[in-house]
Amino acid sequence: MSAFPESATELRDALRTGEVSARKAAERCLGRIEDRAELGAFIRVTAEDALRAADEADARAAALPSDERRALPALHGLPIAHKDLVDVAGVPTTHGSAAITPEPAASDGPGVAALRSAGAISLGKTQVPEFGLTGYSENLIAPPARNPFDTARTAGGSSGGSAAAVAAGMLPVAPGSDGGGSIRIPALACGLVGLKPGLGAVPADLANGARDDFGAPRLTVSGPLARTATDAALLFDSMRGLGSGPGAEPTLTAVRAAERLSGLRIGVSDASPFEAAHPVPLSPDARRAHEVASILLAERGHRVEEARIRYDPEYAENFTTAWTAGLSLLRLEPGAEELLTPLTRVFRERALARPREEHLRAAERLRGFAADVREQWGRYDAILTPGLAMLPPLIGAFTALSPDDDYRLQCEWAPYTSMVNVSGLPAVAVPVLTLPSGLSMGVQLIGRAGGEAQLLQLAAQLMER
């Protein structure tokens, strides 16, 4: 092989044929992690465990005749890493917080187990904000996750470490989680494709039911971060527990035939449910990316038209209540509250002081919001919104503010993401413009229930030009 495969799909194929060994792939990624340590992408690198797993993978592959290597797991030997919000057996889970004492996990979390079963090899745990709460990945226990294209700026959050690692070439692809934009925000900040699947598309996401403890729609789902739509499709199929081979990777197969997709009705909207609470200022670059995406989709033969979407003016208040309600259930050792970040501490105090009835009312309103937007968006095959409203803020820009102003800046930066989590529908973030600075500006596409493959097809169409 003349060059090491850079894409996840090419690397996966080379690993399965034996052109590249799992050890070589792991060593290459570990070298890049060391070379770009200044990005703060990783909280913990598990190099010894990764190399041992790679050697075991190579031994299993070597025991198979060449014509039987198709029996290898779908992601045989593929290096990945997990957010430090999920359990990896034998590795401490910090949740990005100084307020808890991390202990080595007794077993893999469900999503981790699915990818391990698929043959992927974890290289470590990536940087996250405390308890995954914020749209930037800064905490009190490790250096912040920095944007590979401008290290003075954030990589986003809460999957910021994972996004920085993929964008910088430390990993070919990475799993993330998204409870209000936590895949799509860092994807847009770092010029990646980020898929937020619909609730239930990844079976592990329904382990605790479709609603949270207060009856609100369950917000958090798992999805891929990748440099291309094809690579995102590869990881998404494995996150769903699908195998490899003919018919076993339906999303990947669909995206490889993306050029055939045409004639969709796509509604274009820049309305945000946060507008009733505060202005949603879109930068010129954000507007231009939205306009360019509309033109490109029309050129692909889709019917692109303005969508007049109207949102519940009380959304911001109800979402904030539901988003922070879980903090009231967080149990800490005496005195540990002082080790929380200011934002977490303030919003936890408010959640604890709030009557349960208020949590329940907010949850009920969000269920109504979900039904309403599913009906409005459902008039179209997809809804095209802007991505982020502005460039990624500087490291420290959020934490220099009061908790309320910090939260407001997050909502102004990412005013289009959380509403999709409430709806339970899938959405994809796609880079559209590369700016002179090297940073990019992208858009979001919201799809129908079960429409993840179609969204990745549209992402492929936007990127293949």
Count CA within 13 A, CB hemisphere, residue 54: 24
Active site residue 159: no
Tokens of 134: 């914020």
Taking every pair of C-alpha atoms in the chain, what is the biggest distance, in angstroms? 64
DSSP-derived 3-state class of residue 271 = coil
Pairing of strands 121-126, 42-45: antiparallel
Residue 353 to residue 460: CA distance in whole angstroms: 47
Could you write out the three-class secondary structure of 166-199?
HHCCCCCEEEEEECCCCCHHHHHHHCCEEEECCC
Choice among 21, 158, 269, 272 that is catalytic: 158
Could you report how far apart the first and last alpha carbons of the chain are, in Å? 27
Please tell me which residue in 182, 238, 272, 294 is annotated as part of the active site. Answer: 182
Is residue 238 annotated as a catalytic residue, yes or no?
A: no
Active site annotation includes 83? yes
Among residues 83, 122, 125, 328, the one annotated as catalytic is 83
- Can you tell me the distance from the alpha carbon of 451 to that of 415, in angstroms, rounded to the nearest whole number? 22
* Cβ–Cβ under 8 Å, residues 122 and 80: yes
Strands 265-268 vs 382-386: parallel, antiparallel or unpaired: parallel
- Separation of alpha carbons 95 and 332, rounded Å: 13
Catalytic residue set: 83, 158, 182
